[in-house]
Structure 1
Amino acid sequence: MRYILRNIRLFMTNQRGIYLLSIAAVMSSVFLLHFSYSLYQSFMKEKDAQSVEADWLDVELQDLYTQKGDPNDSDYRIIPRKGTKYVTIKDLKRLLKKLSEEFQKEVLDVGTEVVVDNVPYICWFGVENGEIVMSKQYRDNITAHSLPEGRFFTEEEYKEGLPVALDEAIMSKSQKTPYIDSIRSKDRKYLTIAGKKYRIIGKHFTYDQPIVPITSLPEDYPLHEFINFDFTKSVNSLQYTELKDVVEETLGDHASLPDMDLPDMDKIYLYNTMIIIAVLIAVVSALNFVILYQYFLEKRQEEIRAMRICGMKRRRAVVMFLAECVCLTLPVYVLSVFLYDRFALRMMSSFYTYVDDHYSLKLYLELFAIYYISSLIILLVSIWRRLQGEGRMRIGGGRV
């Protein structure tokens, strides 16, 4: 140990410039290691605070109808008001065409209510290349849970807008469905909807109204209350902003999106970039120390050869040099962490909301282990290769 401390003292006095650069490299890598972790922690906490679990966006239609009856009963009716211009299926199609391909790829299905004969028909569908298509998600849900008889629409039927329908399944003989009874043919094979004959291909018990392809209804039929977008995963601010802009452009004052607190994608990108840069600089700083120590070993070639001639094994020499590195860098590491905890973190907290004023001892020990394990591995490889180069040496014309 005394010999190791002697070597460090000689390094400090004889190679002062290299020593100071080595200290700077260690301090900068320690600072940046902790800084990158602080950014990561702040980013994750801010993301959790801002993110929502919602995987849907609901466009609220502003134009009101006159309501008659209880919305939960089959005799419920909504009457369009005179002089009111409502959002129609045609407007919906224009909206879908304006959405980007990236947005459409994330949409699982879209739902809305279409007013047919003063009755709200719930329609769920997908969107692809700006066009309305059959929703496979909705088909699978209906088929698995609410289709006691028959089948669901095919993709071709939905694309072509063919007049096919799912009739309401009557659960008991006492059940009355006056609206359905009024549009159902006597042979129970057809429904008359929007003046057209719809062939019944199955029965469902999801709603009080029939289910029909929205593509089969006239484009001038109005929508009621909402246009709902379900997504494959949680909504982000880019999707929200895009839909809001498209709604304002195509539907104007007739629709709006409720305010939602969503992750800021620009801030997420900035955080990610800063973290990556900080980590890269920390790695470069750590490598700089290795390079500087290599230079120090270069200056000690004669000493290394003398030790090898005297019988010091390579393994023992490696351990000695690693011990020198630890003794040299450990005080600098502790000082750097102290300065970071007492000063840097407090300064950062004024810029980053979710950076803690101090970390736990356990966290500091974990970061210490990460730093030293990775640094010692690099140093071990570097020193071993250096000593390997000294394995065959010429002394007085002979070989050792």
Structure 2
Amino acid sequence: MISFSFGIYQNYANERLASNNLLTNLVIGFQDDKENNRYVTKEMLDRCIDQFSDNIKSKVDCFLVIPEIENELYTECRFSVKDGVFASGEKIKENFLRADWVDTYFSEEQEAKGEPVVLIFDKGGSQNKTPVTDRLLKEGGNGFIWLQGKKYHIIGTQTILTDSVLVPYASLDKKTILGKEGVTIMFRTMFTGEQYKEITGIMEKELGELAVIPPMESVDDIQLKIAVTMTAIAVLITLVISLNFTILYLYILDKRKRQMGIFLVCGLNRGRA
């Protein structure tokens, strides 16, 4: 019964380490250290992602970051990693196209090479372009806009984010500062405790206090209740068994008192009797 109880606890410990999380998205925020002029940059995030195991990279559908671009233009980058190079998030790309939120999307080659291409906001045609969109088009012209001193070719439009643009992550300068929204890691399924520990460990090592690590929200409470209940039942059974053996022994001993006396009278020692 002691072995059984230990087995229950050991099983709970293993389940807790690899238990599924209720969420499929892990959001790690970034914070600035303006006094020391320290910020989280694309180069720093690249180092973190490069250290992620293949187990994590293969199960992440999309990384989402919001770089801080000049003119306070809201910019989004959604990407994945395949065979060591940046690629489009397949599920994100599929969902965007199915919902008609974009009329086209970045190709795997454009993501991998970091080509300066952009999806610009346009809801309902040129007559409905916003002032920000008009300004970008006027500054660029002929199908281009300017970002980080580079010409970004407009390959399509998006209706997801007003006055915003989508660009390939690899097209950004490595010194680009990433916004305080941090990086959102979107898993295809619920991420595990082991994956959480690996990712947060790497982030803490590379970014230090600039990384804002969220607590792990798990479903361990149910497993803990089951483990505690089963252990309590095991202890109760052990006590009942012990009491039963004690009562049985005393009953047998009481019944054999007369026989024991006869054996002792006949010359047997107590051990033999």
TM-score normalised over the length of structure 2: 0.70
In structure 1, what is the equivalent of residue 269 of structure 2?
none
Give deviations 1:150-201, integer Å, cap 9, x for gaps.
Answer: x211111111111111111133777562322222147562222211111111
- 1:154 matched to which residue of 2? 107
Matched residue SS, 1:210? strand
What is the alpha-carbon distance in structure 1 between the residues aligned to residue 153 and residue 110 of structure 2?
A: 12
From the two aligned structures, give the one with the greater strand fraction: 2
Match of 2:228 in 1: 353
Q: Contact conserved, 1:237 with 1:263, CA < 8 A, in 2?
A: no
Q: How far apart in 1 are the matches of 2:169 and 2:31?
A: 21
SS where residue 190 of structure 2 aligns? coil
The correspondence of residues 245-256 of structure 1 with structure 2, limited to 5 A, is: 245-256=201-212
Of 120, 123, 142, 2:96 maps to 142
Q: Between Structure 1 and Structure 2, which shows a larger proportion of helix residues?
A: 1
**Structure 1 residues 82 and 120, CA, compared in 2 at 3 Å: closer, same or farther?**
farther
Alignment deviations for residues 62-114 of structure 1 (CA, whole Å, 9 cap, x no partner): 228xxxxxxxxxxxxxxxx6853211111111111111111211211110101
* Counterpart residue number, 2:157: 203
RMSD across aligned positions (CA): 3.5
Mapped to 2, the partners of 1:102 and 1:130 lie a distance apart of 13
Q: Which residue of 2 aligns with 1:164?
A: 117
Structure-2 change in CA distance of 1:148 and 1:130 (3 Å)? closer
How far did residue 215 of structure 1 move? 0.9
Asked whether the 8 Å contact 1:99–1:130 carries over to 2, the reply is no
Contact 2:64/2:184 (<8 A) preserved: yes
C-alpha separation in 1, matches of 2:136 and 2:36: 28
Q: Hey, what's the Cα distance between the residues in 2 that align with 1:155 and 1:51?
A: 31
Question: Cα gap change, 1:354/1:124 in structure 2, threshold over 3 Å: closer, same or farther?
Answer: farther
Give 5+ residue unaligned stretches, structure 1: 1-30, 65-80, 269-348, 359-400
Mapped to 1, the partners of 2:177 and 2:100 lie a distance apart of 27
CA pair 202-143 structure 1, distance change in 2 beyond 3 A: same
Q: How does 1:375-394 map to 2 (within 5 A)?
A: none
User: Could you give the per-residue CA deviations for residues 121-165 of structure 1, whole angstroms, max 9, x where no partner exists?
Assistant: 11110023444222122211221114453x211111111111111
Find the aligned partners of 1:236 and 1:263 in 2 and give their Cα distance: 11
Which blocks of at least 5 consecutive residues in structure 2 are unaligned?
Answer: 234-273
Q: 1:154 to 1:353 in 2, by over 3 A?
A: same
Percent identical among aligned pairs is: 24
Counterpart selection for 2:50 from 97, 102, 105 = 97
Give the partner amino acid of 1:56: N
User: What aligned pairs does 1:1-400 form with structure 2 within 5 A after superposition?
Assistant: 39=8, 51-63=20-32, 84-117=37-70, 118-147=72-101, 149=103, 151-171=104-124, 175=128, 177-185=130-138, 189-208=143-162, 209-225=164-180, 226-262=182-218, 352-355=227-230
Cα contact 2:74–2:165 (8 A) shared by 1: no
